[in-house]
Amino acid sequence: MDSFEWNKIIGAVLGTAIFIFVVKTVAEIVYEPEHPAKPGYVVEGVVEPGAAGGAAAPAEEAMPDWGTVLPAADVADGKSISVRCEQCHDLSKGGPNKIGPNLYNVVDEPRGTGRNGFSFSSAMAAKGGTWTYDELFKFLKSPGSYIPGTKMSFAGLRSEKDRINLIAYLRTNADTPAPIPAPKPKEEPKAEAAPAGGAAPAADAAKAGDAKAGDAKAGADAAKPAEKPADNTAPGKAGH
């Protein structure tokens, strides 16, 4: 064997070694086994069970005044939002159960039962109660946080307005839409209403016969003495 042969052999060995090294390096770069921060595919509204449970407990959110917000809600917008539910729910009357139960006529219905024998999670069944507007509002914000262990892997609707519009639509998606409660009275007149509500003058006035005039007077009279002591106490306080 002359040195030329040896050169060829060494060259072949080195070449193979370099080839293997390059392939390995490229493979490592291409198939880097690092977990991406986000999954490669995103199914909108679907969360891994762990993520939902891990979400920080949401701060208590004030419930809307349904008597005020429902009549003003955008039902058509709610219907378009409900398309997101249709991944898993059939909303039509007599429609089938899919991944989730049929949702026709769900407002004011018992939770986690019926629905043509849908197999609810024990978490949902155990929660019990009724799907009132409030309950739907809380649940749809973050199903997994509100009912840990639910099979409904839906991230939730952050926006209050979206939830209100959607619930307004769900309400109409029924043979007989659930009743809308009377709007809650405004808070602010309460302070003024208190003296007028003193039932005693009203009773007196009723005796007198002209209830209306009597009422108004009694109210006005009642208000005056209330002001006076207040005036008196003010300087007293200031004197301290």
| Strand positions, DSSP E, 63-170 | none
Greatest alpha-carbon pair distance for the chain in Å reads 137
Closer CB to ligand HEC, residue 57 or residue 83? 83
C-alpha–C-alpha distance, residues 115 and 100, integer Å: 10
Residues in the chain: 240
- Using rule CB under 6 A, residue 154 touches ligand HEC: yes
How far apart are alpha carbons 96 and 116 in whole angstroms?
Answer: 8
43 contacts 158 by C-beta, under 8 angstroms: no
Instruction: Check residue 95 for interaction with ligand HEC (CB under 6 A).
Output: no
Q: How far is CA 92 from the centre of its chain?
A: 23
Interface residue with ligand HEC among 112, 144, 201, 219 (CB under 6 A) is: 112
* Residues 43/48/53/57 CA torsion (nearest 10 deg): -30
Which strand (E) or helix (H) includes residue 40? none
Question: If binding is defined by CB under 6 A, does position 169 make contact with ligand HEC?
Answer: no
Residue 106 is a binding residue for ligand HEC (CB under 6 A): yes
H/E element, 97 = none
What is the closest distance, in whole angstroms, from the C-beta atom of residue 122 to ligand HEC in the complex?
A: 8
Q: Judged by CB under 6 A, which stretch of 1-9, 34-42, 85-93, 178-186 contacts ligand HEC?
A: 85-93
Q: How far is the CB of 160 from ligand HEC (least distance, A)?
A: 14
| Of the candidate residues 69, 140, 168, 218, the single one contacting ligand HEC (CB under 6 A) | 140
89 binds ligand HEC (CB under 6 A): yes
Q: Would you say 45 or 67 has its CB closer to ligand HEC?
A: 45
Q: Report, in Å, the least distance between residue 100 CB and ligand HEC.
A: 3
How far CA 218 is from CA of 50, 154, 167, 198, 214, in Å, comes to 64, 58, 46, 9, 6
Query: Is residue 141 near ligand HEC by the rule CB under 6 A?
Result: no
Q: Can you tell me which of 138, 141, 151, 171 binds ligand HEC, judged by CB under 6 A?
A: 151
43-72 residues near ligand HEC, rule: CB under 6 A = 45-46
For residue 200, what are the CA distances in angstroms to 52, 75, 215, 218, 224? 56, 47, 10, 9, 16
Interface with ligand HEC, residue 168, by CB under 6 A: no
Angle in degrees, 0-180, between the axes of helices 133-141 and 160-172, rounded to the nearest 10:
130
Binding site for ligand HEC (CB under 6 A): 45-46, 84-85, 87-89, 99-101, 103, 106, 111-112, 115, 120-121, 123-124, 131, 140, 150-154, 157, 166
